[in-house]
Each structure stands twice: as structure tokens, then as C-alpha cells.
Structure 1
């Protein structure tokens, strides 16, 4: 019986040892508060990260890694060497000047709808038997949303559509009383007499608006995801009815009395006409 108990505790100790040895950064991240950041397409965001609490002093060399929940590396920096995922090429960076002082924040420029998701940061340090160990630092949830606008213009005016990002590839249009979407503009299109892409800014101008331009405009990225949606109303704006007096001044004295008498007579005539119609 004593041998059975000893074997029992031996297996418990063994399982605890294995569990402790297998605990990695992903399980630690689930117990850490998740910070959320919301932004719009085309903006720049900073995903916070500070390694000082977990490590105390900087490892040499500094080896920082940012991944997504599938453990796919988004950005990695080891000393002077760096690597970034293809879809983030040229858009992500961890500034070296702040890394040694504890700031391992990831900067993402020109954010896209597809960047939405959770990001986790790790410092890679030397472990036992010269093995590399990943120390979990921070988990951040990033939400990227599209732009939505309502605009109103008169016929003949111009509509300036913000494309927001160089990843905007198409503009599609749906008329007010239509269920069909049609291609209005593609990034490689040449300027026309009505459509003009700004040479430097991410803007598309639609000139000489007509009533048929009334409807919905969508800017789409290379994956067909909406960057922005604009509801446009093209309508004539009514002008209030005004009475104009001849001359530059408001009539006074006898002229004012004559004008008042004329208006009174006109009112009586209108009222009499309405009464005759009822009879």
C-alpha cells in the first residue's frame, strides 16, 4: 500500500514538473489584461510594449518579436537584423532608440482593415543549456474600421473622394434607385474630363456633378474590403422667397403708407378669390 502511495505522488510531481516546463508565453498571455486600440484605415497606430517589468535589464542583443495568435511572426528585430511579414512590408517598425530603455512598442503605418486582430510581443533571451526562451511581454487587440460620410452637393459642383491609403484600388458606385454596383475608377486609370486623381494626395475628384451622380460611393482595397463609404445627395437647394423694394432704401413716410395700403388691398383680393372658390 505504501509503494502505491509513493508511486501516486511520484506521478503527480512528474506531471507538475512537465506542466511547469511546458508553460510558454502563449499561456501566460491569457492571464494578462488585453489592451484594445481602435483606429480608422490609413492612420498610424502604436501597439504598446515595455519589457522592463518582466526582464529588469536589457538582454544583449535585444531580440524582440511580434506575432499574431496563430504564432505567425509579424515583425522581428535582433540587434541590427530585422524581418517583417510580406503584408506588413514597409509599414511596421520598433524604434531602436527606445528599445534599450524598455520601449518595444510596434508602430504600424497606413493601417488596413486586414490588420484587425490580436498582437503579442515577446523578448527572446538565453535560457538553460544555451536554448533560446521567449518571454511574453504584452497582448494588444487592434480594431480597424472604415470611414463613413454623408455629403450634399449642387449640380455642377465637384466631389472630392478621400482614398485614405495607397492600398485603395477601386471606387464603385450605386445609384440612388439602383441595386447594381458599377466600377467608377481603378488605380491605374488615366484622368478623364470628369475624374481626376490627385498627383500626390490620395484623393479622387469627380467634376461637374449631375443628378445621376446621386447615390453611394465605396472605396475598396486590393482585397475588396471597404476603406470608405460616402452617401452623396445631388440636389438643387431652394432659395427663400424675398420681396424687393425699388431703390436702395426702405420706403418711409408716405411711400411706406402707400406700400402698406397696396399689400392690404392685395390681401383682400386674394381672400375674396378664395371665398368665391368655396362658394
Structure 2
């Protein structure tokens, strides 16, 4: 666990004391939490508005927790966050004073799934009390897509998260999964997939590259699934098409004018012959 401006042991004891007090002093939780769904690797915002529960507080002291453990705590300039959320959680200070205590959770992972609860800690006459603000149920899902590319083209696979650790492939007519890429394994990756910023690339597709590609995280869970079809693109010469121009009023008027001019020019000649 990482702490900023708070003595570690002292704060840890203080936090758990507040939880004990909070079991008695906190407002009762609502039966239906707010549901938030987010794709893995993206940013999720867990909503929280404390002014709906409190008129004003001398110091904004916000806590976020799951039913099992603390996640985040902020009091003024002091801040604490659990190790598994380190560097990924934040409650913007400027919004907190305006009444918005929403928790920003970056690089969402499957392990983040669950119920989150927020509380404001308020100084009372005799003891501190925690006022319940909001409960949020977070769910996380993987990315799915279908692609159709031609022979010789490049397949670009997004990794979506720094937690993506490997890419596996299953051919269209196969039941075996083959490892194509492992993060940091230069020997395996050479000649297979090229790694760039946030993506891996398979160059010069062949017909036997048709199948399913999966990006997996460190726990073997699917970050993304891409079903690829490689097609043979026929190289045919396209001849320019000549389109008939539509006949409109302007075309009819122009033809009539030319006919009238022609008649006027040959009329004297006809009269002379007669």
C-alpha cells in the first residue's frame, strides 16, 4: 500500500477504527446499487454526489471501499490507496469540494469487478461518523470483433491494457491454440508478431491466418477476441464506365433551337428551287 502525507501505521489503525464506528453510525445502504459496465483496459467512473446527503462539511474526507477491504481514502491533501489500485484511482479535488465524490478507476481489470461503497467522514460532537453516500456495482467485459482482410494485408491487434501478456491463435479448422506473442519474450516474438505502442502486428497475411486471435491478461483471461477471415482478392482491370447523360428540358430546348436555325437557313434555297 502506498501513502501520501499520512503516517502508515497510524492511518491504518485510524481507518479500521472508523470502519468499526461506521458499522453503527453509517446510514443504511440502499437495496439497489448503481450499475456500471466497462470494457477491460478502459476508464470507469463510479458516481458519487455527497451534497445529496450532507449540506456542508468543514473538511472533505471521502472513503471508497468494497465489502471486504478499503480501496481509496482522501482527506484534504492527504491520500491513501490500496496496493492493487495504486496509480489507478482518483477523486479530483476540485470536483470534491463541489459535491462530486465520484471515483475515477483507470485501466479497469476483471479483478475490479464487484460492489463499491462511498462514505463521507464527518466530525461529530463526541465522535466521527461515516455517512453513506453511494453504492456502485461494477462489471467488466472483454472486447470482441470480426475482421475480413485480404492476402498480404496486415492485421493490427490492440492490446487495450498494459496487463495484456500474450496473444494466442486458433486456426479455422483447428482445435489447438498456438502462442504467437508473449510480452518481453524476444525469442518467441521474432518472426511472428511485431510489437508497437499498444498493439501487435501480423504482417503479410496468408489464407491459413484465418481463425481466432485472443489477447490474454496475466491471469489467462480474455482481453479481446478477434475472428479473422483472410480473403483472396482478385486482381482485375477495371474499365471506365461510360454513363448515358440524362435527357432533360435543357437538352430538348437546345435540340429544338438547332432545328429552327436549320429550317430558316434552308428556306430561301427551297423557295428558289420551286
> 1:155·1:211 contact (CA, 8 Å) conserved in 2?
yes
Deviation at 1:232, TM superposition (A): 0.9
Ranges of 4+ aligned residues in structure 1 off by more than 4 Å? 21-24
TM-score, normalised via structure 2 length:
0.73
| Gap regions ≥5 residues in structure 1 | 1-20, 251-279
The secondary structure found in structure 1 opposite 2:152 is coil
Q: Among 71, 92, 112, which residue is 1:95 paired with?
A: 92
C-alpha deviations, 1:88-112, integer Å up to 9, x for none? 1111100111111211110111212
Change beyond 3 A, Cα 1:41–1:175: same
Deviation at 1:189, TM superposition (A): 2.6
The secondary structure found in structure 2 opposite 1:55 is coil
Residue in structure 2 matched with residue 157 of structure 1 by the alignment: 153
C-alpha deviations, 1:150-205, integer Å up to 9, x for none? 1112222110001011111111111111112121111113363442111xx31100
Residue in structure 2 matched with residue 168 of structure 1 by the alignment: 164
Q: Does 1:136 align with 2:135?
A: no
The secondary structure found in structure 2 opposite 1:97 is helix
Change beyond 3 A, Cα 1:24–1:176: farther
Change beyond 3 A, Cα 1:127–1:212: same
> 2:151·2:233 contact (CA, 8 Å) conserved in 1?
no
C-alpha deviations, 1:19-62, integer Å up to 9, x for none? xx96553x71134x4211122122212111111122210232x2
| Gap regions ≥5 residues in structure 2 | 1-21, 243-274
Residue in structure 2 matched with residue 9 of structure 1 by the alignment: none
> 2:166·2:216 contact (CA, 8 Å) conserved in 1?
yes
Structure 1 Cα separation of the partners of residues 238 and 23 of structure 2: 87
Deviation at 1:127, TM superposition (A): 3.4
**Aligned counterparts, 1:74-89, within 5 A:** 74-89=71-86
Q: Which is further off, 137-146 or 183-192?
A: 183-192
TM-score, normalised via structure 1 length:
0.72
Structure 2 Cα separation of the partners of residues 237 and 23 of structure 1: 70
Q: Does 1:42 align with 2:52?
A: no
Equivalent residues, number:
219
Q: Does 1:58 align with 2:83?
A: no
